Amino acid sequence: MLNLAVIGCGVISQYHLRALAKLTTARAAAVSDLRADLAQKTAAEFGVPRWTTDTSELLAEPAIDGVILALPACARTPLALEAFRHGKHVLTEKPVAMNATEVRAMIAAQGDCVGACCSSRYRSFESAQVASDFLRSGALGALRTISCRGVNPAGAPPKGPMPAWRLRKDLNGGGIFVNWGCYDLDYLLGLLDFKLTPQFALARTWQVGAPFSAYAAPGSDAETHANFIITFAEGCVLNYERAEFSTFPADNRWQITGERGTLTLQMLKAAKANIMLTEPDAANGTRTRVLWEGDETALTAEHDGPVFDFVDAMREKRAPRTSLQNALLFARIADAVYASAVSGKPVAFN
């Protein structure tokens, strides 16, 4: 039985604790939070035998095998580095860190420990495995475009205060792109085994518009709308757009196109036709057919999957679904996107 500690007792920690409760190979042995009342309440609610406000003491505890960092991005890297120094395995929430420099520091410190990121959530579904197997077969031919458009209109005004971290560069490293782009790109690039080499980025970002200013917490300075293009050395291009609190009609789609076909994917849980294939047809030019169909709406895999995979990776001494090295690709793209948005010019990757 592996002993895990969950650091940070906010909303997301509850999903991790529920996932751990389903396992027979690992348990939540401790929780930690700077707020003693919240740590104590969380421990009582989930039957965790130990709670503390002293995270350093917990990380030094020999009985703890691994930690889940369920707190804002600005606090994760120092804790991950300390955990690795004590020989602990680490699963971080998303985005993996504030920037690529921090991810590289984690990679340099992890040694033989497992280092994983929760951005893999949407590759926990059966539909994602089917798509990955199809892509590995080479059936699409040479890749041309990887596309994501996830735009949503503003809903009813918020009834309470919005989370401060969500649109703060100093707390989260960015806004909607790091909040949801880490999922989008982990999904799309992960289906391709993260085997792409970025060359140039050209990006624009926009903060929340005046009609929806109440949807952002005071002091917010990060984007609610991002649009960019990335070129890769392998000859393909990533086209990306994400927006929230917007006037866009809802439009959510993920696509991978090669010279011999296009996969239209549903990253989020869907009730039917999660994966469609458009391919050449001798009689009509093209045809579109269902490659995989199923109802995934009742699954909890998007939250359970990263925890289950992390525990299995620890036990089996293997790489997790999204390793720190995999997550570095997203961090590099995020750095280039934000640099291009500031300069208004293309940015080359090092």
Residue 42's nearest CA partner among 90, 7, 87, 91 is 7
Averaged pLDDT, 12-18: 96
Judgement on whether residues 19 and 145 belong to the same structural domain of the protein? no
Residue 24 — pLDDT band, cuts 50, 70, 90? very high
Are the beta carbons of 84 and 109 closer than 8 angstroms? yes
305/16 Cα distance (integer angstroms): 10
Residue 142 sits in which domain range?
Answer: 123-298+330-348
278 and 311 within one domain? no
Q: What tokens appear for 80 in the block? A: 């991950």
CA distance 19 to 32: 17
pLDDT at 264: 97
Average pLDDT, the chain: 95
Tally of domains in the chain: 2
Instruction: Return the structure tokens found at 258.
Output: 């090669």
Segment 199-226 mean pLDDT: 96
Please name every residue paired with 205 in a beta bridge, in sequence order, or none if there are none.
226
Judge if 135 and 274 occupy the same domain: yes
DSSP assignment of 184-250 equals HHHHHHHHTTT---EEEEEEEEE---GGGGGGS-TT--S-SEEEEEEEETTS-EEEEEEEEEESSPP
Count other C-beta atoms under 10 Å from residue 235's C-beta. Answer: 10
One domain for residues 128 and 266: yes
For residue 350, is pLDDT > 90?
no
CATH code, domain carrying 108 = 3.40.50.720
* Structural contact between residues 88 and 66, judged by C-beta atoms closer than 8 angstroms: yes
Q: How far apart are CA 348 and CA 245, in angstroms?
A: 31
Mean pLDDT (whole number) for 121-135: 94
With 90 as the cut, is the pLDDT of residue 274 above it? no
**Whether residue 134 is found in the same domain as residue 214:** yes
Residues 53 and 161 in one domain: no
For the segment 269-278, the average pLDDT, to the nearest whole number, is: 88
Nearest Cα to 337, choosing from 244, 204, 206? 204
* Residue 160 contacts residue 273 (beta carbons within 8 Å): no
Residue 132 sits in the same domain as residue 201: yes
Q: Token pair for residue 87? A: 């020989």
Peptide bond into 161 cis (omega under 30): no
Shared domain for 111 and 173, answered yes or no, is no
CB 228 within 8 A of CB 109: no
Q: How many CB atoms lie within 10 A of CB 229?
A: 17
* 70, 130: one domain: no
pLDDT digits (tens, 9 = 90+) for 146-197: 999 999 999 999 988 888 889 999 999 999 999 999 999 999 999 999 999 9
Based on the fold, state whether residues 260 and 219 are members of the same structural domain.
Answer: yes
For residue 267, give Cα distances in angstroms to 79, 228, 230, 261, 273.
30, 20, 20, 19, 12
3-class DSSP state of 58: helix
Helices (H), the chain: 11-21, 36-46, 55-59, 73-85, 100-109, 126-136, 169-172, 176, 182-191, 301-316, 324-343
193, burial (CB in 10 Å: exposed 0-12, middle 13-18, buried 19+): exposed
Q: What is the pLDDT of residues 285-332, one digit of tens each?
A: 999 999 999 998 887 778 899 999 999 999 999 999 999 999 999 999
- 160 with 277, same domain? yes
Query: Residue 269 has what pLDDT?
Result: 84
User: Is the overall model pTM greater than 0.85, yes or no?
Assistant: yes
Instruction: Give the CATH number, domain containing residue 153.
Output: 3.30.360.10
Note whether 267 and 307 are same-domain residues: no
End-to-end CA separation in angstroms for the chain: 43
